[in-house]
Structure 1
Amino acid sequence: MNRRPAHLTEREEQILACIRQSIADSGEDVTTTEIGAAVGLRNKGTVAYHLRNLQERGALVRIGRGGRSYRPAR
């Protein structure tokens, strides 16, 4: 079952889809730079802002401190 909060923005949905696709394709998460390139954001700080929001809303789980440390919540 794919649980996600109903109040995600379109950009946050794009970021989640990017992370899910990367995991499905290569088995590993994407970096903030790769996420930014995939969804049209140049600033890594903006990507980090969205990742924090997704984590606070329970849509993402951080599993470390590295660049590839986010997984979609199940």
Structure 2
Amino acid sequence: MSGHLTDRQLLIERRAREWVVQYGEAPSVRELAAAVGVSSPSSIAYQLRRMRERGGAVETRGRRPSGRCPHCGQ
């Protein structure tokens, strides 16, 4: 897959792998954006979609639970 990626996508892929090695789990899109040095998680989400269209995928996880009660918000 790496042969068809842009420089930005290669950086995203590398940072995602480093994150998994360091933390033992896939990063969220927001965490991946911070690791790459991008202020907008939506630009990372766009790049991930483009990577999937080309047959590859970088694992990300959804949002973490906030710890708040889903019923009362406290």
Structure 1: segments with no counterpart, 5+ residues? 69-74
Runs of 4+ that moved beyond 4 A? none
Q: How many residues align?
A: 64
Structure 2: segments with no counterpart, 5+ residues? 65-74
RMSD (Å), alpha carbons: 2.3
TM-score under structure 2 normalisation?
A: 0.71
- Structure that is richer in strand per residue: 1
* Structure number with larger C-alpha Rg: 2
**Alpha-carbon distance in 2 for matches of 1:19, 1:61:** 7
CA contact (8 A) 1:5 1:58 kept: no
Q: Equivalent pairs: percent with the same residue?
A: 38
**Alpha-carbon distance in 1 for matches of 2:39, 2:20:** 22
TM-score under structure 1 normalisation?
A: 0.71
